[in-house]
Amino acid sequence: MGQAEQVREAAAAALADSGVVVEDVAVHPAGKRRLVRVGVARDVSDLLAQDLTSAVEPLTLDEVAEASRAVGVGLDDSDAMGSAPYTLEVTSLGVDHPLSTPEQFRRNVGRLLRLRVSESAQGETADTGAETEARLLEAGPDGIRLADAPDNLLPYDRISAAKVQVEFTRPGGKDN
């Protein structure tokens, strides 16, 4: 098991039952130290089975700070980093992070997305397929529904790329 996987396991254990999950882990050499970046997000695992459409609030700064403390303690208590010094950065993932899992799509219901959609399941690379921009209405375990085709379920295996688009004012007057 690589160091990033060990960090992921230690961080996930430290965040268990906190309502926050580990989304991304990267470990980079930085001189004599290592830079450990842990991306976190709100846990939506319970929502995927029951509620496919309600908005999910992003993590607050206080929640990210608490997650950072918990991950720091978890890493210090584990052997994931060994004895070498490291710098820990815990952050929520930004809108530029590509969406690839049902949980990532679920957290972004109501947001405007730019997607690359292939005609057939898993048949095309990220550089092929039609690009579209539409509001995400619903995200479930099997796929998503977009505002431009609300009656059609778009399976995840037909989505080769997806990113949230920055909007300064969203419909309903709520700012980003």
- CA of 142: how far to CAs of 74, 145, 159, in Å? 33, 10, 12
Q: Which residues of the chain have pLDDT under 70?
A: 121-128, 170-176
Name residue 84's beta-bridge partners.
none
Q: Could you give the strand order of the β-sheet that contains 149-155, starting from the edge strand earlier in sequence? A: 149-155, 143-146, 130-139, 112-117, 159-164
Phi, psi values for residue 18, rounded to 5°:
-100, -10
Q: For the stretch 98-132, what's the b/e string if a residue is b when 16 or more beta carbons lie within 10 angstroms of its beta carbon?
A: ebeebbbbbbbbbbbbebbbbeeeeebeeeebeee
The pLDDT value recorded for residue 116 is: 96
pTM equals 0.84
Name residue 27's beta-bridge partners.
36
- The 10s digit of each residue's pLDDT in 124-161 is 454 567 899 999 999 999 999 999 988 999 999 999 99
